Chains A and B, each alone.
Chain A
């Protein structure tokens, strides 16, 4: 299959071998990736809670979004780089991992959800923000985001339990 042959090629590269054969390099990337997700998802969760009307109700949505989103995008970039390198060290194994596929799917959905939120209901934020009532569509986006990021964390952790891995 096309994707499988790409993964096989990735596994055959020098970069892949270097990361795979270096315990400390793999562990360092893994640590940055795990701590990174905690901070990135933690920050996104704050926005989600605000949209759901559960936390930070005194902070306007627009202020929260404009302050948090740029930082999370940088954090997300770091996730992509570390995640990409981790993936490259065992691409074929990832190809066969259901958890990895679920994680990628959830990431795409989380991205689409965020994009849709910004392109639609967030455009009118100046109108609904002062009323302190968050529109149903924005609340829905917050709830979806919360669920998707929890699923991403869960799937990410589950990758380590994929067949062929050492437990722990």
Chain B
């Protein structure tokens, strides 16, 4: 699988190599403690992110808790979703730059990045509009949006694990 089909094959490789050979990349790469700490932070961020998104999407699907309006649940959890997203986005690049070249050669890394880009845009546009809608969007719309959101974030978490498993 080509990394980014819009670019000529291998166009990004020098940038990835450079990143891995920076002082930061080398330092993290050679410290099992740093990598472990970064992965722990990343995983805890993901837990906060997934937990809050799960709650909002289940409410959107109509299988949440009681009959609380989605807009209120979403508003009450928004800050935590932001914190979780902030933690994963802040820790991820550090882990990445310690093994940029390996990531480059791992298709599942590119799948994760594509899904992540789609999920972030989707989250702050369509998902936000639907979860904030007053009066609520029709049930079918809400269900499709919740299903998509859950599938995207689950896919990202799965692909993240996949990066560690599929070593080229």
Which of A's residues lie within 8 Å of B, judged by CB? 27, 30-31, 34-35, 37-39, 41-43, 45-46, 49, 54-59, 63-64, 67-68, 150, 153-154, 157-158, 160-161, 167-168
Contacts and interface: CB of A to CB of B under 8 A. Distances in A.
Given A34-B161, A55-B80, A39 B36 contact: no
Given A30-B161, A56-B77, A150-B44, 7 more contacts: A42-B50, A43-B54, A46-B77, A56-B73, A59-B66, A153-B40, A167-B35
Contacts of B80: 49, 54-55
Given A38-B46, A153-B47, A63 B40 contact: no
A154 B44 contact: yes
B76 A39 contact: no
A124 to B, nearest CB: 21
B76 A42 contact: no
A55 B56 CA distance: 12
B164 interface: yes
Nearest to A68: B65
B44 A43 contact: no
Which residue, A37, A63, A64, A168, has most C-beta atoms of chain B within 10 A? A168
B32 interface: yes
B139 interface: no
Interface of B: 32, 35-36, 39-40, 43-44, 46-52, 54-55, 64-66, 68, 72-73, 76-77, 79-80, 99, 154, 157-158, 161-162, 164-165, 167
A39 B55 CA distance: 10
Contact of A46 (B39, B55, B66, B162): B55
Given A35-B158, A42-B54, A58 B35 contact: no
Contacts of A64: 65
Main DSSP-derived SS at the B contact region: helix
B68 A59 contact: yes
B18 to A, nearest CB: 22
Which residue, A56, A58, A68, has most C-beta atoms of chain B within 10 A? A56
Contacts of B39: 157
B44 A35 contact: no
A129 B157 CA distance: 35
A49 B46 CA distance: 16
Nearest to B72: A58
A64 B65 CA distance: 7
Nearest to A23: B165
Which residue, A38, A55, A59, has most C-beta atoms of chain B within 10 A? A38
Contacts of B43: 34, 38, 153, 157
